């Protein structure tokens, strides 16, 4: 899946609710499985014309951080997801566990990977929610269920027909792995004290990440941006939609 597809996902209905955040609670259990093939990032193209209207060859504006996609293979991603600390967005701030990092933090990107969560589709207020969590599952290639000899389509069909979860669904996420280098509350972190973290991006936050990468890619291609740092600034932004309140991530150039 190309990074530009996450930009297109912004036009799809948002799946955030008043209880959904970019957080660890949507992580399905990790189990051992063979590594499937993962698609590489495509490069968006923009067509131009000459002064007399003749079409030129497309000029490509590769998004920044496209080279970071899938730097970790699936087995590494699954293992690190259960081992490293996770930065989540709640109530307009970045958190690791119960510790607030402030509104913003900076991460040196090492790898980012697509992941889809297969869910029975119940909310925490629904009867049977706790029991339904046992059916959470991951897919890293959007085709096969990680650790299970079954396709995504077959798994969702089973949730609906065998277990009567009529709202069973699939949600796209991005797992962004990197070194935490700065937080709003504590400032710059000494190199010897830095640790790897994972930032889980919901569909909305993944769209924000994709738009940031594409915008910076265009600016770099035009020479406006001279160099691209591997360090990105991540901001937790509280949002309200009707009666629903949630927090997503936005992305900025680290200065």
Nearest residue to 119 via CA among 82, 150, 156: 156
- Whole-model pTM: value is 0.78
How far apart (Å, rounded) are the C-alpha atoms in residues 213 and 7?
10
The tens place of each residue's pLDDT in the chain, 255 residues long, gives: 666 554 444 333 333 333 444 443 445 554 433 333 333 333 333 334 444 555 665 548 999 999 999 999 999 999 999 999 999 999 999 999 999 999 999 999 999 999 999 999 999 899 999 999 999 999 999 999 999 999 999 999 999 999 999 999 999 999 999 999 999 999 999 999 999 999 999 999 999 999 999 999 999 999 998 889 999 999 999 998 888 888 999 999 998
Domain segments of the chain: what residues?
3-116+174-253
DSSP states along 159-174? HHHTS--TT-EEEEEE
């Amino acid at each position: 899946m190309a990074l530009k597809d996450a930009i297109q996902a912004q036009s799809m209905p948002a799946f955030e609710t008043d209880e959904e955040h970019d957080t660890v609670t949507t992580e399905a259990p990790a189990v051992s499985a063979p590594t499937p093939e993962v698609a590489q990032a495509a490069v968006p193209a923009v067509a131009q014309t000459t002064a007399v209207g003749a079409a030129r060859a497309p000029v490509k504006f590769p998004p920044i951080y496209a080279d970071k996609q899938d730097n970790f293979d699936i087995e590494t991603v699954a293992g690190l997801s259960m081992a490293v600390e996770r930065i989540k967005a709640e109530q307009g701030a970045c958190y690791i566990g119960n510790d607030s990092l402030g509104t913003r933090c900076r991460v040196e990107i090492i790898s980012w990977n697509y992941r889809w969560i297969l869910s029975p589709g119940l909310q925490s207020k629904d009867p049977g929610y706790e029991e339904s969590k046992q059916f959470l599952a991951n897919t890293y290639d959007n085709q096969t269920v990680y650790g299970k000899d079954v396709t995504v389509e077959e798994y969702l069909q089973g949730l609906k027909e065998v277990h009567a979860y009529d709202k069973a669904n699939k949600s796209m996420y991005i797992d962004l792995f990197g070194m935490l280098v700065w937080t709003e509350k504590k400032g710059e972190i000494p190199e010897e004290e830095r640790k790897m973290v994972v930032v889980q991006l919901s569909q909305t936050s993944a769209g924000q990440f994709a738009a940031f990468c594409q915008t910076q890619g265009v600016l770099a291609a035009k020479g406006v941006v001279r160099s691209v740092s591997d360090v990105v600034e991540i901001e937790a932004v509280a949002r309200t939609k009707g009666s629903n309140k949630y927090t997503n991530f936005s992305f900025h150039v680290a200065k």
